[in-house]
Amino acid sequence: MDGDLQTFVQRVFACSPDTAAAIAARAARRAYAARDIVLRQGDACSETWLVMTGRAQALVYGAEGQMVLLQDYAEGDLFGAIARLDGEPHEANVVAVETLKAALFLATDFLNLIETHSAVGLAVSRLLLKQLRAATGRMVEQTTLTVAGRVYAELLRLAEPAEGGRQVIRPHPVFSALAVRIHSTRETVSREVNKLERRGIVLRDAASLTIVAPERLRGMIR
């Protein structure tokens, strides 16, 4: 297996070069274009994916037909059959949000790596805890915040620090994708962002959305 995968594995699992080589030797490379379905809801799953570059999302349809985000996956995240071998149907569609490159393991091989190498088991525990916290946070926001509050919180979550105390989202967020993340509609997201723009709290252009007054926006989350 090529050296860049071994280096990536060593960084993700914080393990020795020998352990990284053993892990990388069990992996196959996979690549997916944006909007490709990596794993279908209801399919029996017997593989584990480790995201190397790009992003994917676990999505399901709600009772009223709306798309609901269960989990985001980015560099270093795992999905699929991680610590089970029962081949149960997967609970969601996993869709590539952008070009996605991943290392693919047979679930039996990955479970063996967890059992054999403590570094892998520890890293998996941390990754799963991070995913649980993210899912719990979305559940809390869904039940305690208004729709507008969820829009504001998600904008701040997506933004990166910029000059002058501002924060910027680049490229400009896709409102339909943002709506999925907060269990709302594109129209609602567009309406709330337009309100923020009229009040001078955000600025938009074709390439980005800039939060001019992050603290003011944070104070509006209810």
The CATH number that applies at residue 167 is 1.10.10.10
For the chain, the domain total comes to 2
- Give the range of the structural domain holding residue 153, as residue numbers without chain letter: 145-219
**How is residue 151 written in tokens?**
């829009």
Per-residue confidence band for 1, with pLDDT thresholds at 50, 70 and 90:
very low
Give the position of tokens 């969601």.
Answer: 92
Are 135 and 149 contained in the same domain?
A: no
pLDDT in tens, 206-216: 999 999 999 99
Are 195 and 125 contained in the same domain?
A: no
Are 177 and 195 contained in the same domain?
A: yes
Are 111 and 194 contained in the same domain?
A: no
**How is residue 150 written in tokens?**
């969820």
Are 55 and 132 contained in the same domain?
A: yes
Q: Report the distance separating Cα 170 and Cα 190, nearest Å.
A: 17
Nearest to 107 by CA among 127, 80, 126, 129: 80
In the prediction, which pLDDT does 51 show?
97
Are 70 and 174 contained in the same domain?
A: no
Are 60 and 96 contained in the same domain?
A: yes
Are 67 and 122 contained in the same domain?
A: yes
Last residue within a domain, chosen from 108, 143, 178: 143
Are 197 and 162 contained in the same domain?
A: yes
Are 8 and 106 contained in the same domain?
A: yes
pLDDT in tens, 158-211: 999 999 999 999 999 989 889 988 888 899 999 999 999 999 999 999 999 999
Q: What is the percent of the chain with per-residue pLDDT over 90, rounded to a whole number?
A: 77
Are 109 and 22 contained in the same domain?
A: yes
Are 29 and 139 contained in the same domain?
A: yes
Asked whether the predicted pLDDT for residue 41 surpasses 50, the reply is: yes
Last residue within a domain, chosen from 84, 108, 143: 143
The CATH number that applies at residue 31 is 2.60.120.10
Strand ranges (DSSP E) for 97-196?
100-106, 160-161, 167-169
pLDDT in tens, 4-32: 999 999 999 999 999 999 999 999 999 99
Return the number of other C-beta atoms located less than 10 Å from residue 41's C-beta.
15
**How is residue 222 written in tokens?**
């209810």
Last residue within a domain, chosen from 113, 143, 173: 143
Asked whether the predicted pLDDT for residue 64 surpasses 70, the reply is: no
**How is residue 58 written in tokens?**
């676990």
What Å distances lie between residue 27 and 1, 49, 120, 167, CA to CA? Answer: 8, 9, 14, 38
